[in-house]
Every structure is written in C-alpha cells, then in structure tokens.
C-alpha cells in the first residue's frame, strides 16, 4: 500500500470513529445534573409530523404512554383549560406511573394505585420547527428537573424520538436512590410505547 492510500484508510477510519462517538442528537445541550433519565428510539414507517402530533396531543397520551397516564393543561388554580396542547408558560398537571405500566397500554388500562404519582410542571419550550418540546418540574423547590423531547427525521421513513430529563436540587440524590431505576424504565417504556403506537398505525 502506498503511503497515500494508507493515510486515506486511516483518515476514513478516524472519521468513522468520530461519527460513532458523536452520535447524532436533536436534544439541546444542557448542563449536567445530579442524574438524568433518557430514551432514544427509532420509529419506522412514520413522519416527524405524526410523532409531533402524538407528543402534543395531551388527551391522547393514555392511548400509548405507560408512564404519563394523564397530561392536562391547567390554570394556576388547577382548572382544566379548553386548549389541551402545549403552550409556553402554561401549567401542566401530570398523573404518572413510576415504575410504568406493562406495555401495551390503551386509554382504558387501569392505573396501579400503588405507583401513581402527581406532578405539576411548567411548559418551557414549544419549538415545532426544531421538533423540540420541554417542561420543568414545578411541584416543590427541593427538586429541579427539566424534560426535553426531540423529534428528527433520519430519512427513509425513519424518525428519531429522544427524551431526557435532568434532575437537580437538594433531594435529587435521594430521588435517584429511591426512584432512579423506575424513572429510567418509565423513559425506556414511553419510547417503546410511542413506537408501538405509531408503527401499528403505519
Ligand atoms: C446523563 O447521564 C449520563 C449517564 O450518567 C451522562 O453520561 C450524561 O452526561 C448525563 N447528561 C446530562 C445532560 O446530565
Ligand atoms: C388538579 O387537577 C387534576 C386534573 O383535573 C386533578 O386530577 C387533581 O386532583 C387536581 N389537584 C388538586 C390538588 O385539586
């Protein structure tokens, strides 16, 4: 092999390593927290619009999401608002299952009352052009957490869905010890639930 072609092989190899190390993501860069829960799943035979619609259609969450069983946009006094889609600055009431319900779920799947938790969130970012959505935990001051979701087109009918919630605050390490694994399972399974729901409809 000439010097030139061996250099070429090495540089192609280096490029490949670089691409693998810097995995593509549409999640924004955020500071590291105490811990985080995340998911990343490729959904086939779908469109970014279909994934975005599923994520922003709050009344439809129970049809596919084993972790967030209800997401309701509420007023500061907790009254249900007429518009049930994400709007920056609005409050969001969540009824969750930690750990998540077994898959698959639909709107009639009953909660496991032992695993039911309530949370109030504030919707922080709604960015349809970027395919990004975020809300932050606003239930108490001992834990701070912001959850991002991102949708991006990988081509050939494949859409990447990603989500990550970064936890901070005085009680974050206690939360990690008690519920960290269950929260991670909730993220894994809501990615799997979304994939099941959208690929079934394909
Ligand atoms: C999320 O957690 C992983 C694994 O601990 C870590 O490598 C990554 O840097 C964390 N990301 C953020 C934004 O905290
Ligand atoms: C707030 O509203 C939700 C949704 O209607 C309800 O399930 C929850 O119990 C309410 N919280 C309080 C404290 O009333």
- pLDDT digits over 72-85, tens only? 999 999 999 999 99
Which ligand neighbours the alpha carbon of 165 most closely?
1
CATH number at residue 170: 3.30.530.20
Ligand 1, pocket-test mutation among 21, 32, 37, 183, most atoms within 8 A of CB: 32
What tens digit of pLDDT does each residue of 13-60 get? 666 666 566 789 999 999 999 999 999 999 999 999 999 999 999 999
Does the predicted model carry a pTM greater than 0.85? yes
Q: Rounded to an integer, what is the distance from CA 185 to the centroid of its chain?
A: 12
Ligand nearest to the CA of 76: 2
Within the chain, strands assigned E span 35-43, 68-74, 91-97, 116-127, 132-137, 144-155, 158-168
Instruction: Locate the ligand 1 atom nearest the alpha carbon of residue 38 and give its number.
Output: 1
Atom number of ligand 2 nearest to Cα 78: 1
Name which of 19-28, 52-61, 98-107, 181-190 the model is least confident about.
19-28
Average pLDDT over residues 182-190: 98
Q: Which of 30-39, 138-147, 164-173 has the lowest mean pLDDT?
A: 138-147
Domain count for the chain: 1
pLDDT at residue 22, as a whole number:
73
- The percent of residues above 90 in pLDDT, for the chain, comes to 85
The rounded Å distance from CA 116 to ligand 2 centre is: 13
Give me the domain span that covers residue 130: 3-200
If we measure between CA atoms, which residue out of 123, 156, 143 comes closest to residue 37? Answer: 143
Report residues whose beta carbon is within 6 angstroms of any ligand 1 atom: 30, 32-33, 36, 166
């Amino acid at each position: 092999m000439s010097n030139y072609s061996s250099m070429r092989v090495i540089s192609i190899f280096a490029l490949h390593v670089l691409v693998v190390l810097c995995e593509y993501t549409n999640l924004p860069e955020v500071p590291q927290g105490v811990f985080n829960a995340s998911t990343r799943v490729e959904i086939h035979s779908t469109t970014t619009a279909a994934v975005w619609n599923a994520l922003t259609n709050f009344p439809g969450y129970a049809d596919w999401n084993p972790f967030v069983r209800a997401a309701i946009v509420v007023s500061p006094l907790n009254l249900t608002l007429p518009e049930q889609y994400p709007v920056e600055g609005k409050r969001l009431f969540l009824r969750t299952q930690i750990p998540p319900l077994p898959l698959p779920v639909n709107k009639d799947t009953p909660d496991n009352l032992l695993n039911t938790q309530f949370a109030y969130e504030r919707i922080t970012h709604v960015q349809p052009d970027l395919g990004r959505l975020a809300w932050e935990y606003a239930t108490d001051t001992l834990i701070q957490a912001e959850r991002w979701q991102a949708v991006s087109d990988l081509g050939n009918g494949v859409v990447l869905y990603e989500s990550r919630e970064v936890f901070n605050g005085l009680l974050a390490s206690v939360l990690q010890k008690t519920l960290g694994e269950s929260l991670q399972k909730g993220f894994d399974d809501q990615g799997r639930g979304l994939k099941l729901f959208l690929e079934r409809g394909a």
